[in-house]
């Protein structure tokens, strides 16, 4: 029910050729916020932020790693898994295979270890380019495995969320990943380890209602849309239009559900500072 | 298995406004039920009923999603769709159950957590996440019983249990068949087909190891046969609690943890059907 809101936003920029995420193919890109046509390299050099209006484009895993992890320090966990297609949908395995080939991603999340300004961390980064970052069994298992590795290695964990919610194609199995990841976080909590959850645009549904909301510290990017129910579902339920700014990161900050909004250029420094400040009583 | 009821028919049975609600079950299964109110933060949300009760000399904490039995009651109870304060009330009672060493019994019956402005303002996502988080670490036995509609995170929020029972004609799913067909196929008219595909029946979920026990029920529940049904549930609760009574607190937590940890339906990439699933 959450995905429809995101779908709606995506249809706005159909003239962006095929890819709606991050930077589309071709030399030019249209900003969905200010509608300006901008030279692609300018956006890329500007941390995937529109140089005209400051709108945040969605970031691929590779760009996100570049942004926060020290160069050459990322080591991904070796977990070669895929779904058994529990609902037996005919086209789902084919769709996954095609997506893997097209995006070069294994799934909607990448997990591993790396350094942030020299500090060791476990890092998970979701990608909206893979079935809208939806959580099926692979995403649930990889996040859970990453949490277990953080406990094993006694490291803090940082999860960058972007997701439409639980993945429809795997039905109840996707739903159960919410419980699985949340339960894994109880073990991290008992081990006294730090979890920083970073919410990026958009984070919805079963991801908001599980690990993304359970960080010791929850950060968000400016303007990111974050919520449980999708906006269209809410509008249909209550029969009225939603107020301006509803479900933005700023709205969540105001209502006390996130700790801080951090600009993309400051993310690495802020996370590093938080890692240092959370190292027990003394540094 | 005898006369087959289709998945869609089960959806209709589960949603029937005359179907027995959580309070009907509670009153028949337990003695001395006393409802206690409030999340101590915002208000008392009547979509969730919490309280204490006993079976013989065993005390329990009860947490239940409650639909209305009349239109008036349905309005009061928001048609069984909890707001965040419901889950925060549930958490309060879970923690008390642990403090006093009482097992927790939850009843699942909801179309989903309420999608409203206030619900979002008060952190619906956080409330559900925190409920699962707290439930996962409870040091007392937890049994969840899906009695009607178990839809989406709003249902799972109070279903992180050691044992999950499910009424034969109840449903438990990622969301409604209507929502599923509209999201996946962009066609909300294919809801019947979605219901068949989604594996939302007790039988399908038992085969997937999502639930542990199917509670038999006749096609139509009446006041007469309901006694027999609830008597059966009572016995099943007693039997499961007896089995868990030999476990230590850590074993109880671990038993529940492993149950959800092992929900995978995964295989190695490229492997044909060498399923790692439970």
Q: Report the CATH number that the domain containing residue A93 is assigned in CATH.
A: 3.90.226.10
Tell me if chain B has a CB within 8 Å of the CB of A175. yes
Question: pTM of the full predicted structure?
Answer: 0.94
Tell me the two tokens of residue B87.
């889950």
- Domain assignment of residue A37, yes or no: yes
- At B2 the pLDDT is 52
- The answer on A50 and A159 residing in a single domain is no
- The answer on A181 and A47 residing in a single domain is no
- At A11 the pLDDT is 44
- The answer on A179 and A266 residing in a single domain is yes
- Domain assignment of residue A111, yes or no: yes
CB contact under 8 A, B175 and A1: yes
CB nearest to A234's CB, from B117, B183, B263: B117
CB contact under 8 A, B260 and A174: no
- Domain assignment of residue B93, yes or no: yes
- The answer on A264 and A211 residing in a single domain is yes
Query: Which residues fall within 8 angstroms of residue A187, CB to CB, at 6 or more apart?
Result: A147, A148, A151, B257
- The CATH number that applies at residue B186 is 3.90.226.10
Tokens 């030279």 map to which residue? A39
Q: What is the ipTM of this complex?
A: 0.96
Tell me if chain B has a CB within 8 Å of the CB of A217. no
Average pLDDT for runs of 10 along chain B of length 278: 83 97 98 98 98 98 97 97 98 98 98 97 98 98 98 98 98 96 92 97 98 95 95 98 97 98 92 54
- The answer on A252 and A217 residing in a single domain is yes
- At A19 the pLDDT is 46
- The answer on A145 and A239 residing in a single domain is yes
CB contact under 8 A, B265 and A255: no
- The answer on A148 and A65 residing in a single domain is yes
CB contact under 8 A, A168 and B264: no
CB nearest to B183's CB, from A3, A237, A247: A3
- The answer on A66 and A38 residing in a single domain is no
CB contact under 8 A, B277 and A138: no
Question: What stretch of H or E contains A150?
Answer: helix A137-153
CB contact under 8 A, B266 and A186: no
- At B188 the pLDDT is 87
User: Which segments in chain A show pLDDT lower than 70?
Assistant: 1-25, 281-283
A237/chain B closest Cα distance in angstroms: 7
- Domain assignment of residue B157, yes or no: yes
CB nearest to A83's CB, from B198, B263, B266: B266
- The answer on A212 and A156 residing in a single domain is yes
Question: Which of B196, B243, B223 is closest to B11 using CA atoms?
Answer: B196
Tell me the two tokens of residue B74.
């349905």
CB contact under 8 A, B199 and A172: yes
Counting the structural domains of chain B, the total is: 1
- Give the domain extent around B199: 7-261
CB contact under 8 A, B156 and A175: yes
- Domain assignment of residue A87, yes or no: yes
- Give the domain extent around A33: 23-57
- Domain assignment of residue A282, yes or no: no
- The answer on A205 and A85 residing in a single domain is yes
- At B219 the pLDDT is 86
- Domain assignment of residue B275, yes or no: no
Question: Angle at the Cα of B155 (from B152 to B160), degrees rounded to 5?
Answer: 115
- At A14 the pLDDT is 43
Question: What stretch of H or E contains A43?
Answer: helix A40-45
- Domain assignment of residue B57, yes or no: yes
A107/chain B closest Cα distance in angstroms: 11
DSSP states of A207-236: HHTTGGG--SEEEE-TT-BB-SS-HHHHHH
CA distance to B104, B132, B139, per residue, from B99 (Å)? 12, 18, 9
Counting the structural domains of chain A, the total is: 2
- At B5 the pLDDT is 94
- Domain assignment of residue B149, yes or no: yes
- Domain assignment of residue B78, yes or no: yes
- At A1 the pLDDT is 45
A67/chain B closest Cα distance in angstroms: 27
- Domain assignment of residue A75, yes or no: yes
- Domain assignment of residue A120, yes or no: yes
- The answer on A229 and A195 residing in a single domain is yes
């Amino acid at each position: 029910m959450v995905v429809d809101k995101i779908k709606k936003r995506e249809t706005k920029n159909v003239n962006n050729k095929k890819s709606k995420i991050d930077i589309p193919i071709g030399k030019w890109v249209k900003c969905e916020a200010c509608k300006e046509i901008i030279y692609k390299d300018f956006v890329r050099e500007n941390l995937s932020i529109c140089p005209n209006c400051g709108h945040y484009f969605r970031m691929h895993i590779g760009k996100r790693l570049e942004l926060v992890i020290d160069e050459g320090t990322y080591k991904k966990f070796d977990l070669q898994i895929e779904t058994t297609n529990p609902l037996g949908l005919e086209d789902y395995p084919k769709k996954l295979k095609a997506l893997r080939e097209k995006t070069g991603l294994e799934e909607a999340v990448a997990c591993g270890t790396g350094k942030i300004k020299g500090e060791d961390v476990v890092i998970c980064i979701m990608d909206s380019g893979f079935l809208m970052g939806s959580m099926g069994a692979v995403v649930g298992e990889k996040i859970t495995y990453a949490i277990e590795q953080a406990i094993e290695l006694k490291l803090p964990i940082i999860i960058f969320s972007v997701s439409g919610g639980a993945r429809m194609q795997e039905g109840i199995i996707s739903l159960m990943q919410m419980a699985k990841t949340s339960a894994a976080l109880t073990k991290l909590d008992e081990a006294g380890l730090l979890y920083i959850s970073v919410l990026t645009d958009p984070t919805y549904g079963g991801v908001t209602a599980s690990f993304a909301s359970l960080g010791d510290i929850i950060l968000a990017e400016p303007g990111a849309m974050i919520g449980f129910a999708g906006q269209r579902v809410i509008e249909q339920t209550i029969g009225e239009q939603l107020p301006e700014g509803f479900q933005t990161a700023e709205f969540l900050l105001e209502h006390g559900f996130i700790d801080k909004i951090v600009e993309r250029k400051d993310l690495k420094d802020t996370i590093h500072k938080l890692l240092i400040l959370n190292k027990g009583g003394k540094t | 298995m005898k006369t087959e009821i289709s998945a869609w028919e089960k959806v209709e049975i589960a949603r029937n406004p005359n179907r027995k609600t959580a309070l009907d079950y509670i009153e028949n299964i337990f003695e001395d039920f006393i409802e206690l109110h409030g999340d101590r933060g915002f208000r008392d949300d009547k979509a969730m009923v919490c309280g204490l009760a006993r079976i013989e000399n065993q005390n329990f904490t009860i947490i239940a999603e409650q639909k209305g039995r009349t239109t008036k009651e349905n309005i009061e109870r928001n048609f069984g769709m909890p707001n965040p304060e419901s889950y925060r009330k549930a958490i309060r009672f879970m923690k008390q159950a642990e403090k006093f060493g009482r097992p927790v019994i939850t009843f699942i019956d909801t179309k989903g957590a309420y999608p409203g402005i206030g619900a979002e303002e008060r952190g619906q996502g956080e409330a559900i996440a925190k409920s699962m988080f707290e439930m996962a670490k409870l040091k007392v036995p937890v049994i969840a019983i899906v009695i009607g509609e178990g839809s989406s995170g709003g249902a799972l929020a109070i279903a992180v249990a050691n044992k999950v029972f499910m009424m034969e004609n109840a449903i438990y799913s990622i969301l409604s068949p209507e929502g599923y067909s509209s999201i996946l196929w962009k066609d909300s008219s294919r809801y019947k087909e979605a219901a068949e595909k989604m594996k939302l029946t007790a039988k399908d979920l038992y085969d997937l190891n999502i639930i542990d026990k199917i509670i038999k029920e006749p096609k139509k529940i009446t006041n007469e046969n309901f006694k027999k049904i609830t008597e059966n549930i009572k016995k099943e609760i007693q039997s499961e609690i007896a089995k868990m009574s030999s476990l230590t607190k850590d074993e109880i937590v671990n038993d529940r943890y492993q149950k959800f940890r092992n929900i995978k339906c995964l295989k190695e990439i490229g492997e044909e059907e060498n399923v790692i699933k439970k």
